[in-house]
């Protein structure tokens, strides 16, 4: 290891440079300064969680938007693509569930890297949007069938 190289814990991202012993004080993970496989040279930022959550929104929202435009007679969707839209929505929902579980795992760590925790919170909020859109997609057709009686 060179003196300029940064060392971060594989488990929690704690800066390991200059410690008296070869164990992370945050989580207890052992490391060897001479073995680069036992530490990271850059801390995890959590950007993967953000990108996955944004991808889940895109996978879920694009078919909904296309269906809305098709209902408004703005575009015409070929029959063979209607199944693709459903598959995209399911993939978006599954990806939101995976992102949520990983974000919760990051937030449950006692003290993680602040940037990673912020990214996990943002990913959770974005996943919440997908879950709300999913609930709305399930509920809205039921409301459109309800007829107001009277007059």
Mean pLDDT for the stretch of residues 46-67: 84
Q: How much is the pLDDT for 149? A: 53
Beta-strand runs (E) in 10-68: none
Q: What is the mean pLDDT of residues 30-47?
A: 82
Pair (65, 138) in one structural domain:
yes
pLDDT of residue 116: 76
pLDDT at position 2 is 47
Residues 25 and 96 in one domain: no
Q: Is 97 left (phi over 0), alpha (psi -120 to 50) or beta?
A: alpha
Is 61 in the same domain as 36?
Answer: no
For the full predicted model, state whether its pTM sits above 0.85.
Answer: no
Question: Are 55 and 20 part of one and the same domain?
Answer: no
The per-residue pLDDT of the chain, averaged, comes to 79
Give the pLDDT of residue 80: 59
What is the three-class DSSP state of 115?
Answer: helix
Whole domain around residue 18: which residue ranges? Answer: 1-43
Q: Is 44 left (phi over 0), alpha (psi -120 to 50) or beta?
A: beta
């Amino acid at each position: 290891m060179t003196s300029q190289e940064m060392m971060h814990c594989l488990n929690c991202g704690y800066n390991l440079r200059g410690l008296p012993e070869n164990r992370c004080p945050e989580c207890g993970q052992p490391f060897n300064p001479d073995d680069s496989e036992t530490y990271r040279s850059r801390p995890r930022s959590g950007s993967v969680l953000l990108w996955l959550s944004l991808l889940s929104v895109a996978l879920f929202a694009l078919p909904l938007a296309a269906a809305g435009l098709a209902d408004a007679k703005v575009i015409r969707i070929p029959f063979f693509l209607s199944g693709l839209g459903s598959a995209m929505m399911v993939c978006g929902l599954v990806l939101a569930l995976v992102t949520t579980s990983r974000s919760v795992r990051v937030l449950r760590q006692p003290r993680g890297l602040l940037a990673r925790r912020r990214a996990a919170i943002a990913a959770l909020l974005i996943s919440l949007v997908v879950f709300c859109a999913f609930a709305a997609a399930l509920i809205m057709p039921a409301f459109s069938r309800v007829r107001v009686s009277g007059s």
